[in-house]
Structure 1
Amino acid sequence: MRIPVSTYRIQFRQEYDFAAATAIVPYLAALGISDLYASPIFKARAGSSHGYDVVDPTQLNPELGDREAFDALVSAIQQHQMGWLQDIVPNHMAYDSQNLWLMDVLENGSDSDSFDYFDIDWNHIYEEIRERVLAPLLGNLYSDCIENGEIKLAYDETGLSVNYYSLRLPVRIESYARFITYNLGQLTKALGRRHPDFVKLLGILYLLKNLPAEAKGRERYDQVAFVKGLLWELHEQNEAVKELIAANVQSFNGEVGSPESFNLLDSLLNEQFYRLSFWKVGAEEINYRRFFTVNELISVRVEELKVFHKTHSLIAQLVEDGIFTGVRIDHIDGLYNPVEYLERLREKIGDVYITVEKILELTESLPTGWQVQGTSGYEFLNYVNGLFCDANNEPAFDRFYTTFTGVASSYDRLSAEKKWLIIEKNLAGDVENLAQRLKRIAGQTRSGGDFTAYGLKRALSEILALFPIYRTYITSDVVSETDRQVIQTTIAAAKKQVPLLQRELEYIEAILLRNNEDYLTDEQKADRLHFVMRMQQLTGPLMAKGIEDTLLYGYNRLLSLNEVGGNPSHFGILPEQFHTFNQQKVDHWLHSMNTTSTHDTKRGEDVRARLNVLSEIPDAWAEQIKQWADINFSKKERLGGRTIPDRNDEYFLYQTLVGSFPFDEAEFPAFVERLKDYLIKAVREAKVHTAWLRPDSEYENEFIAFAEKLLDAPETNEFLAQFRPFQAMIAEYGILNSLSQVLLKNTAPGVPDLYQGDEFWNLSFVDPDNRRPIDYQQRMAVLDQLKTKLPHNPLALIDDLFETRATGNIKLFLTYQLLQARKAFANLFQQGDYQPLEVAGDLQNHIIAFARTVGGQAAIAIAPRFFTPLVQPGERPLGTAVWKDTHLVLPSGLPSTWTNVITTQPLQSQSTIAIGDALQHFPVALLVSS
């Protein structure tokens, strides 16, 4: 198995294709990257900006280039001895006209070859979507769309289709008879009943009315193709037939202003295997599983063996060809049976590197039996980030946040409230479906016969709202102790919330824990297990939407903690927690990924590094906020009894500005526009004053106007005059935090992952902002200069880099030096143990240090933190003058001769290493034994 030394994430899209990636491969290799880490490259919806809306996983995405361009990229990667880690999407595909498997289902229903490819409930309780799949893809009410002439019938060589702007859906063959026979008398008059073409048309009608019900598979497809071919042939050969079809299309498409004229089209649509509806319907009534709450992403039944092999055929081929050397599995928790999937994947692709996108709570562990090398690294991100948040100042932040914003609820209470909001608004249909399944199960036995649908749904919803992790992994009558504890703890908490539903909760608990099943039939046991596994597929999306996409935009105590996989109620991580985490990683997941930014993170890694500085200076921060709020009070709008923005959103904005304000003045105009786009997304995600489902344009417009006033006329703006000196101070300390973060990512156990462009400062907002184009020419030029200057006078180079630190060149330099060390000592960093090092002296709380050893080789990483009491803004925290008596106490057995691979300077040690000596020329150190 090839274990990456380091990975570099590329976000492919039409504007950044295979050829563009090929051009930077030499740069990545020179930087020290061992493996390209690619976003999905399979055929996606036209114009996709991310590749997760796959329409055909058996083809490469033609928008990224042809096979020749792909092969050129492969050749470049292999020429530089690099690997290829590929992000794959087994959970869902695009609900789109270009998804031919899905279109086949919508045209042929249960007769489709791909009928069981998608996670659709064909026997839904609601009659209007029973044996039909909901298509919540309209931008308005169905009645408005059809009567405004936006839904149109069309005919071409492929047959009849229903069209709504770019959406094109097929018409089932049985509906052709209704269409053809409309105004058929007109054709009789034009041709006569004995005309050969009229007879042919009658023959088509006969075939349509007598399609054998037993015709399946190829036989049915042949018959459908035969009928369509005959009709098109008549259309092309006979002008009267062409006129009839055109007239019928016009008639079915109705006349705007005459609602009754659309009855024909409405009747035809009611015959289809799908029901077009307003997109908001999907939140409350849905009969297919989506990716989270995205109607345009329909989930795939990859648990079906034929579907698994079909969707993974190209992936397996590219692994077999030696092109993919590893895979990263997107949204593993969305799968029906993750354990079974991983076993099948391992069997199919063999002994290659596999990681999973998995959100783990602070004390949660990845199931040890999974056949993977680890996760994509969100838990590492949150542990490292938490190191730079000063936990001692949590009470001060609590007091000020409550005082300024009026937000008094605890994080746990807000968490449950936001998940309830999602249950009632965004996932109401999904929860209803699960509750109906539970009601049917309850009706099977005497013990559940008296439970009402309402009571069961209320109890189930309480459990879902209180569920503390993404999901459990129960797949049989065996329940792990970890899953058992989660379920029992959740049920106990639910009983306190709804004590009148204690019996219902205990009934659900027994089902989840697979208890009391001895007297059940095999079918009933299977129903209960299916319910459990379906519920497990719902807890993850609920957590994602309730916490990541709602609460993290509304609980704004300290935004650096509001990150994917994070829990903002944990105000900081203690060094002991970080060390324990890394030691467990060595024991179980040595090759899990270490990331600090991804395409999913809420803000760039250097934004978090800046905001963490605020945790060190709560009083100064509170004073600044009060001053800014006073200055900006008159800029707010008062409408309908409310002040816009409210204090919580105002506080969010100030933190956002402090964290993301650009170093370069030239970027300021673009920054303002990016900020406005971000603020709209943020307040909609918060779902307090506005939301995607119910946008409040008044609040949004006034919030944007407020932000514009804060940033308008920078030369004379009173707020900016107050803001910029403070922000500049935070940015200086943020640079130091960032450098320590880079060191820890590249030296701790695991595979360091560098997100595209992050070798310079990453001050991005959430997607799509974090997928902006990267200036690689600039990065290549800087790397070339560094490589030229470094061998001659590294200390002079470091001095120059500090003078120009705002450019980000210093971050690239540190990244380069660390990646070169990882390559040179690959075995040490890939297989080495992990030893926390004791720090002693006055400033011991300001140092994180550990050793990695394997065989006779050793390395020591030293990362400072909490810089505000150590140096003035812009000063370097170097030497004994800063670090005084602070030192490392070395365990016996470590060498005494070292080289700092960042500065290339030697260092001698005995039983201790003075921090002032180790950090004499650069703010962080990586010492490798000579």
Structure 2
Amino acid sequence: MTVPRATLRLQFHAGFTFDDAAKHLDYFAALGVSHLYASPITTARPGSLHGYDAVDYSQVNEELGGEAGLKRLVARLRERDMGLVIDIVPNHMGIGAHNAWWLDVLEWGRHSAYARHFDIDWHSPDPALRGKVLMPCLGAPYGVELEAGRIALRFHADSGRFQVVYGDNVCPICPVDYAAILQAAEDNTELTALAQTFEGLTTQPEDQPRAAAGREALRTFAAQHGPAAFDPALEAFAGTAAVSHERLHRLLERQHFRLAWWRTASDEVNWRRFFDISTLAAVRVERPEVFEAVHALVFRLYEQGLIDGVRIDHVDGLAEPREYCQRLRQRLVDLRGNHPYIVVEKILGRGERLRDDWPVDGTTGYDFMNDVGSLLHDPDGAAPLAATWAELTGASPSFADEAIAARRQILAEHLSAELDRATRALHRIARDHPTTRDFTFAAIRRVVAELAVHFPVYRIYPQIGLRSNADNEWFAKALDGARRTLSRSDHEVLARVDAWLGGSGGDAERDARDARDGRGHRAAAAGSSQGQTQAQVQTQAQGQPQSSTSAAAQKARPAAPPVTPFSHALASQRTALTLFSQLTAPLAAKAIEDTAGYRYGRLLSRNEVGADAGEFAITVEQFHAANQERRRRFPHAMLATSTHDHKRGEDVRARLAVLSELAPEWSAALRRWSTVNAPLRRFVEGGAPAVAPASDAAGNVPDPQHWAPGPAAEAMLYQTLVGCWPPGLAADDEGGIRELAERIAQWQLKALREAKQRTSWYAPDEAFERACRDFLFDILAPQRRDGFLRELCDFVERIAPAGAVNSLQQTVLQLTSPGVPDLYQGTELWDFSLVDPDNRRPVDFAARAAALAPTPPSERLREWRNGHVKLGVVQRLLALRAQMPEVLGTGVYLPLTVRGTHAKRAIAFVRQHGNGYVVVICTRLAAPLLESGSGLPLVEPAKWEDTAVEMPAGLASRTLMDLLSPAAQKVNGDGLLYLRDALAAMPVAVLLEDGVPGA
């Protein structure tokens, strides 16, 4: 098995290609990573900066350098004994003019070869959408755009196709209608002759080759006579005349797509999207032929030895994550016979565990990022900071309240169509039973909505239509929440929906248990072992033949009852379960990460992907327990502290965590800054923004809800300034502050729109947004240098050393905990980035390479603001992982007890394999100990007083060398190591026995 020692995530795009990465391989190797970890490399929409909008799964993106560039990069990696892990996106594709699969679906509808590649509901209850695909791409209502002539019929000479074009959107006309289009050119014998080629054409697959031949004839005609030869036909559908609009409208009504205003998507879209993004269509990778097509390139690259593993994006979007992972691993194993490295992007709630029956190496590290981030916070700050937040903003002090409100809004305004689809699946089950046929669609929808709103994790993973005990644990919490909020008249419906969604009772449960006990169980078991998908099982349920067995085996088999094991009820239940799970996952993501996280600001360092802002801090014991479980269950899981999706860089969060230790001082600063900057607020109500008056002629104070940016947004703005203020930036550095303001303005706009309160992506209030931007630039204006700006700089300067201590602690824990450390590009130095696109800015790898040095990190502590001390720690610890792979790889993890006056301000543990030891000691919650210090991120040794670590018996009276400083530490005869000695040169220590390689 090829397991990375450490990975480095790179974001590839046209501005940073494979060849660009290859230029820095010597630096990456010197840094100590074993594998590059690439963003998606399949062909994406032109100009994509992230690659998650793939349009062709079969080709390496030419904008990145194509397959030739990839091979050049891998060849140079192999020269350095390095490998490559790639990000794959099996859940969705980018749609549009560059996606051949999608265009074929629009052209041929249900008879397209790719009709079942996408998760489309071809049987919509809306008659206008039956057999059609909703295309919500119009900037205004359909009739308005049609009459304005912005929807146009065009002929594409290169493909011989007639297309409807709207802006960048292209929708191919079905060839069945080509004859009518060509015949619309009156008295044009040539076009009339061409029309005969398409006479009598149908959408049936057997007719599609004839359509292709007809299009070839059109291409040839265009090549001979020029594309303008088709203008007489096109003109019949163009112009401003009402008859032309009507003719074009009738043509569009006959197509397999329906053009619609973009605002219709949330309510009416009849295909599954990625979250609520109507340019990303979900793919039915559970179908065997789709699975093979989606992974064709991945399998070829793996078979050729070009990649060593994969990261599975958004695994919770898939119909059957467990079966998908089984199938993927088996296919990769079959290709090369080794054990591929596979990790999944999975958000785990506190107490939720990655399933043991998923054959993967772990998650991509959001769980570790949450654990280590929580550890940095002082729990004593939770209550006072929540009280301050509520006082200043008038909002609830509870994140749970904000999360529930956000879930309701997202479900109603953004995922209504997805809610309807899950409800319809359950309504069909209800109609099949006399006892439930009177359960109305509306009642079931109310129940499903409340279950989804109160669902505590992303989703469940039932098997054969039944929930597991782990599923029931989470489902029970959703049931409790739904019971509290639903009317008692809906409780009976809730009980039945519970049963239909895999709970106890009901025909479907009996069918599932029959399936487990009889032939269905054997089929399901075989499917599990061989990677069989849900689609295959459902095919068997519909009575299609299965593989035959010998006569002897048939005689030996006990007689089975004459029923179909996978009955209609079970198939319906599995469909409902899938749709419900594919509803709760995007709801959680959009409501928690992208809405509530931008509304609730007790402390923004806890508002992060994979985190629950309601969970403020964890104990050292909880952190140790999580590390021990990870080592036991998924020892090769990724350990992340920053990602391409993070909301704030790892060192922004580390600095903000210091505020949990200084709650009274921070609360006072917030109140003071709010007062100082009050005259700069804008008042926005029904017109252009103006500076908010203190009061009107009658003495009335303007309603704070009409201020820009508003109390909540203003409080979060101050946190953001404190968190991302670059080290050493002075109040009189106009250029530096202007550059920072531009970056923060990007964050602010995104934050305001994601919060979806006074503005949003769907309905932007540009006057309000402009007023918020003006406020930001006003408070950072040069004339504030002796007021607010000076105070802000002084405050940052005060807490920055404690923030650096947190950062170094976080870095050491990432690089020494059980798992595979994953560095995000550029974070080897201080990472004060904000949410994308800020966290995807170009990285100066040359500067980082120049900063590498053989000197111990402790010698760089005095110049800590340049980040070189962090780079030194990363380099040394990655080298140690190479020198002691068993110890820091799968070695035992032993928590160590810290005792003494400041025991809560340190964390310590040992990694051990055989006779090899690595002792890790980190300073934590250091702010009180740094008061009146030297300005360095280092606690003065004497302040540790009697605080000591109880060392393992095997290290008593031993001399230990610090990897991060020249110091040698002596464990006394009682097995104690005093922190005044161990942490005298650095706030973190990694100790090895003298004489051990690396010491």
Query: Per the shorter chain, which TM-score range?
Result: over 0.9
Q: Which residue of 2 aligns with 1:798?
A: 858
Displacement of 1:879: 5.5
1:232 has 2:232 as partner? no
Counterpart of 2:952 in 1: which secondary structure? coil
Alpha-carbon distance between aligned partners in 2 of 1:693 and 1:78, rounded to the nearest angstrom: 47
Structure 2 vs 1, CA of residues 891 and 40 (structure 1 numbering), >3 Å: closer, same or farther? same
Displacement of 1:751: 0.7
Alpha-carbon distance between aligned partners in 1 of 2:616 and 2:839, rounded to the nearest angstrom: 26
1:510 has 2:572 as partner? no
Q: Deviations over 1:87-133 (max 9, x none)?
A: 10000000121111111111122332222111111111111111011
Displacement of 1:327: 0.7
Q: Which residue of 2 aligns with 1:880?
A: 941
Q: What is the one-letter code of the residue matched to 1:19?
A: D
Alpha-carbon distance between aligned partners in 1 of 2:724 and 2:823, rounded to the nearest angstrom: 19
Q: Deviations over 1:699-750 (max 9, x none)?
A: 2111111111111115645211221101221222211110111000000111
Q: What is the one-letter code of the residue matched to 1:168?
A: V
Q: Deviations over 1:864-892 (max 9, x none)?
A: 11111112361342553121111001232
Greater alpha carbon shift after TM alignment, 890-899 vs 305-314: 890-899
CA contact (8 A) 2:640 2:814 kept: yes
Displacement of 1:806: 1.5
Alpha-carbon distance between aligned partners in 2 of 1:298 and 1:664, rounded to the nearest angstrom: 46
Displacement of 1:259: 5.2
Alpha-carbon distance between aligned partners in 1 of 2:908 and 2:140, rounded to the nearest angstrom: 58
Structure 2 vs 1, CA of residues 914 and 103 (structure 1 numbering), >3 Å: closer, same or farther? same
Alpha-carbon distance between aligned partners in 2 of 1:45 and 1:714, rounded to the nearest angstrom: 45
Q: Which residue among 200, 203, 222 is the counterpart of 2:209?
A: 222
CA contact (8 A) 1:879 1:915 kept: no
CA contact (8 A) 2:71 2:306 kept: no
Displacement of 1:652: 0.6
Identity rate, percent: 36
Alpha-carbon distance between aligned partners in 2 of 1:838 and 1:23, rounded to the nearest angstrom: 46
Alpha-carbon distance between aligned partners in 1 of 2:761 and 2:268, rounded to the nearest angstrom: 17
Counterpart of 2:613 in 1: which secondary structure? coil
Alpha-carbon distance between aligned partners in 2 of 1:371 and 1:660, rounded to the nearest angstrom: 39
Counterpart of 2:15 in 1: which secondary structure? coil
Q: Deviations over 1:187-227 (max 9, x none)?
A: 25xxxxxxxx57xx43x4334232266543xxx34311211
Greater alpha carbon shift after TM alignment, 258-267 vs 495-504: 258-267
CA contact (8 A) 2:389 2:397 kept: no
Alpha-carbon distance between aligned partners in 1 of 2:928 and 2:418, rounded to the nearest angstrom: 52
CA contact (8 A) 2:110 2:122 kept: no
Q: Deviations over 1:371-403 (max 9, x none)?
A: 001000101001101111100122211221111
1:562 has 2:607 as partner? yes
CA contact (8 A) 1:187 1:244 kept: no
Q: Which residue of 1 aligns with 2:119?
A: 119
Counterpart of 1:657 in 2: which secondary structure? helix
Alpha-carbon distance between aligned partners in 1 of 2:785 and 2:930, rounded to the nearest angstrom: 31
Q: Which residue of 2 aligns with 1:918?
A: 982
1:463 has 2:446 as partner? no
1:907 has 2:985 as partner? no
Structure 2 vs 1, CA of residues 231 and 69 (structure 1 numbering), >3 Å: closer, same or farther? closer
Alpha-carbon distance between aligned partners in 2 of 1:60 and 1:886, rounded to the nearest angstrom: 56
Displacement of 1:829: 0.8
Alpha-carbon distance between aligned partners in 2 of 1:86 and 1:552, rounded to the nearest angstrom: 29
Alpha-carbon distance between aligned partners in 2 of 1:773 and 1:265, rounded to the nearest angstrom: 47
Structure 1 gaps, min length 5 = 189-196
Alpha-carbon distance between aligned partners in 2 of 1:243 and 1:535, rounded to the nearest angstrom: 51
Counterpart of 1:870 in 2: which secondary structure? helix
Greater alpha carbon shift after TM alignment, 264-273 vs 95-104: 264-273
Q: Which residue among 329, 332, 353 is the counterpart of 2:312?
A: 329
Q: What is the one-letter code of the residue matched to 2:911?
A: R
CA contact (8 A) 1:603 1:763 kept: yes
Q: Which residue of 1 aligns with 2:796?
A: 727
| Match runs of 1:101-500 below 5 Å | 101-157=101-157, 158=159, 159-184=161-186, 186-188=187-189, 197=190, 201-202=192-193, 204-211=194-201, 215-216=205-206, 220-237=207-224, 245-255=230-240, 258=241, 261-350=244-333, 351-408=339-396, 410-498=398-486, 499-500=488-489
CA contact (8 A) 2:929 2:939 kept: no
Displacement of 1:763: 0.8
Structure 2 gaps, min length 5 = 334-338, 512-563, 686-702, 730-734
Alpha-carbon distance between aligned partners in 2 of 1:820 and 1:650, rounded to the nearest angstrom: 44
Counterpart of 2:16 in 1: which secondary structure? coil
Alpha-carbon distance between aligned partners in 2 of 1:53 and 1:644, rounded to the nearest angstrom: 35
Displacement of 1:798: 3.1
Alpha-carbon distance between aligned partners in 1 of 2:799 and 2:149, rounded to the nearest angstrom: 56
Q: Deviations over 1:798-852 (max 9, x none)?
A: 34x2332211111111111111111111111111011110000101000011111
Q: What is the one-letter code of the residue matched to 2:371?
A: Y
Structure 2 vs 1, CA of residues 702 and 260 (structure 1 numbering), >3 Å: closer, same or farther? farther
1:37 has 2:19 as partner? no
CA contact (8 A) 1:183 1:244 kept: no
Aligned residues: 901
Alignment RMSD (CA, Å): 1.8
Q: Which residue among 808, 820, 837 is the counterpart of 2:867?
A: 808
Counterpart of 1:280 in 2: which secondary structure? helix
Alpha-carbon distance between aligned partners in 1 of 2:801 and 2:955, rounded to the nearest angstrom: 35
Alpha-carbon distance between aligned partners in 1 of 2:405 and 2:72, rounded to the nearest angstrom: 52
Alpha-carbon distance between aligned partners in 2 of 1:471 and 1:213, rounded to the nearest angstrom: 39
Q: Which residue of 2 aligns with 1:581?
A: 626
| Match runs of 1:500-899 below 5 Å | 500-514=489-503, 515-517=505-507, 522-640=567-685, 642-663=706-727, 665=729, 667-713=736-782, 716=785, 718-783=787-852, 786-787=853-854, 790=855, 794=856, 798-799=858-859, 801-872=860-931, 874-878=935-939, 880-894=941-955, 896-899=958-961
Q: Deviations over 1:603-651 (max 9, x none)?
A: 1000001100100011111111111111101111223352222111110
Displacement of 1:491: 1.0
Counterpart of 2:188 in 1: which secondary structure? helix
Q: Deviations over 1:119-177 (max 9, x none)?
A: 11111111111101111122332223232222222113212112122222211101112
CA contact (8 A) 1:55 1:94 kept: yes
Structure 2 vs 1, CA of residues 894 and 309 (structure 1 numbering), >3 Å: closer, same or farther? farther
CA contact (8 A) 1:879 1:921 kept: no
Alpha-carbon distance between aligned partners in 2 of 1:74 and 1:781, rounded to the nearest angstrom: 24
Alpha-carbon distance between aligned partners in 2 of 1:667 and 1:238, rounded to the nearest angstrom: 61
Displacement of 1:587: 1.3
Alpha-carbon distance between aligned partners in 1 of 2:755 and 2:658, rounded to the nearest angstrom: 25
CA contact (8 A) 1:358 1:376 kept: yes
Alpha-carbon distance between aligned partners in 1 of 2:950 and 2:219, rounded to the nearest angstrom: 85
Counterpart of 1:620 in 2: which secondary structure? helix
Structure 2 vs 1, CA of residues 407 and 246 (structure 1 numbering), >3 Å: closer, same or farther? same
Q: Which residue of 2 aligns with 1:22?
A: 22
Q: Which residue of 2 aligns with 1:191?
A: none
Alpha-carbon distance between aligned partners in 1 of 2:274 and 2:918, rounded to the nearest angstrom: 43
Q: What is the one-letter code of the residue matched to 2:490?
A: L
Q: What is the one-letter code of the residue matched to 2:43?
A: K
Alpha-carbon distance between aligned partners in 1 of 2:428 and 2:746, rounded to the nearest angstrom: 46
CA contact (8 A) 1:284 1:428 kept: yes
Give the TM-score normalised by the residue count of structure 2.
0.88
Give the TM-score normalised by the residue count of structure 1.
0.94
